[in-house]
Amino acid sequence: MDIHFVCHDCGKKHHPRSLLWRCPCGGLLDVDQFTISFPFDEIKKRPATMWRYREALPFVSDSTVWEALTLGEGYTPIVPLDSKSPNILLKVEYMMPTLSFKDRGVAVLVAKAKALGVTKVIADSSGNAGTSLSAYASRAGMKCDIYVPESTSPKKVLQISAHGATVHRIPGNREATAHAVIEAIESNQGFYASHVYNPFFYQGTKTYAFEIFEQLNGEMPDVLVFPVGNGSLLLGAYYGFQELLHGGMIVKIPRFIAVQAEGCAPIAQAFRTGKKTAEPVVNTGTAAEGIAIAAPARHRQILDAIYATGGFVITAPKEKMEPARRELASKGFYVEPTTAATYAGFLEYLAQAHNSTGNLPGFEPDAKVIIPLCGAGIKAN
């Protein structure tokens, strides 16, 4: 099985060994379809990591490249919010080797880069993608350069340097950091291991869907809440659910509710007016640094996925984030501000659906909802 990339715009196929980060036409790359399977009798006997679904991941069946790199990522617990809310389920994605869901995507991406002979990876990040990449790159024996906005949590910066990566702190906003890394890539300083552009990342995040299917014994949730900056969890999960659907394991994909931060919400702005593409916005500031993406490159794909599931986009109000963080902590979950924003967004959705005249896709009071807790509180200030 040889995996190819396919351009979202012109349809041209590229071999990953080209090390392209986007099509020469400017289009975004996706992984072209390949044959997958879910041998659940075997899967059930395997360790509780995302690699139990390896027949659905883009590796030849006898590939062992990932075995040297895995830190045991995936198969995170699903826990009720509290005993009064048995159908509001939290998938505790911060229980990951580097304390965020980014490990799903990075583990696959670094294994593929290693197999291609890459010796140095570069990425830009608001924090967690960088901490994850620096850990796995170091384990793989690769050099690593991480570009972060100057405002990134000092704890995340420390975590990145602890793994031996070089940190470039870029003045200005997240977009300035994105520009700086592209300059480095264009001058051939290394392989762009981007969680936004590299399609292998989404092959890792799709395991989020497989786990939900397996952990709930196929009793699918009605609603899935996602934080959305660049959409790397939402899109990966969407691809994963599509694969379960095509494999006949589920009959429909749950409704996706995307949460953006008030102050930086291009997807929400597009959704409000029914648009299929999002215009860049000006980031007017938010505590939710992990979803403050003013111009998400995969905006069209994110909106497609939301519309296709009958979903909705909500913005988490600024003043509700800190109370949401305290509320989660009171129930035993210590999360970073971006994750508090996800929960605040969910609460806001409930409030608006309750008050609306029926133009919000509502859900039954006993609907089963899954909210990911993507990042650990200990990483933030």
Ligand X SMILES: *Cc1c(COP(=O)(O)O)cnc(C)c1O
Q: Which is nearer to ligand X, 49 or 230 (CB)?
A: 230
Q: How far is the CB of 254 from ligand X (least distance, A)?
A: 18
Q: Does 27 bind Zn ion (CB under 5 A)?
A: yes
Question: What residue spans of the chain are helical by DSSP H?
Answer: 40-43, 102-115, 128-139, 154-162, 174-186, 200-205, 207-215, 232-246, 266-272, 299-308, 321-330, 337-355
The residue among 368, 369, 364, 321 whose CA lies nearest residue 343 is 321
With the CA atoms of 54, 56, 62 and 65 taken in that order, what torsion angle do they form, in degrees rounded to the nearest 10? -60
Q: How far is the CB of 14 from Zn ion (least distance, A)?
A: 9
Select the residue interacting with Zn ion from 3, 7, 225, 261 (CB under 5 A): 7
Q: Does 29 bind Zn ion (CB under 5 A)?
A: no
The residue among 159, 161, 128 whose CA lies nearest residue 145 is 161
Select the residue interacting with Zn ion from 1, 13, 15, 25 (CB under 5 A): 25
Q: Which is nearer to ligand X, 221 or 229 (CB)?
A: 229
The secondary element (H helix, E strand) that includes residue 1 is none
Strand 78-80 versus strand 88-91 pairing type = antiparallel
Q: How far is the CB of 25 from Zn ion (least distance, A)?
A: 3
Give the interface segment with Zn ion, choosing from 4-12, 228-236, 308-316, 330-338 (CB under 5 A): 4-12
Q: Which is nearer to Zn ion, 7 or 170 (CB)?
A: 7
The secondary element (H helix, E strand) that includes residue 44 is none
The length of the chain, given as a count of residues: 381
Q: Does 50 bind Zn ion (CB under 5 A)?
A: no
Tokens standing for residue 159: 């975590």
Using CB under 6 A, list all residues that contact ligand X: 100, 102, 128-129, 227-233, 290-291, 293, 336, 338-339, 374-375
The secondary element (H helix, E strand) that includes residue 224 is strand 223-227
The binder of 100, among Zn ion, ligand X, none, by C-beta within 5 to 8 A per type, is ligand X
The binder of 27, among ligand X, Zn ion, none, by C-beta within 5 to 8 A per type, is Zn ion
Q: Which is nearer to Zn ion, 5 or 101 (CB)?
A: 5
Point out which residues bind Zn ion (CB under 5 A): 7, 9-10, 12, 23, 25, 27
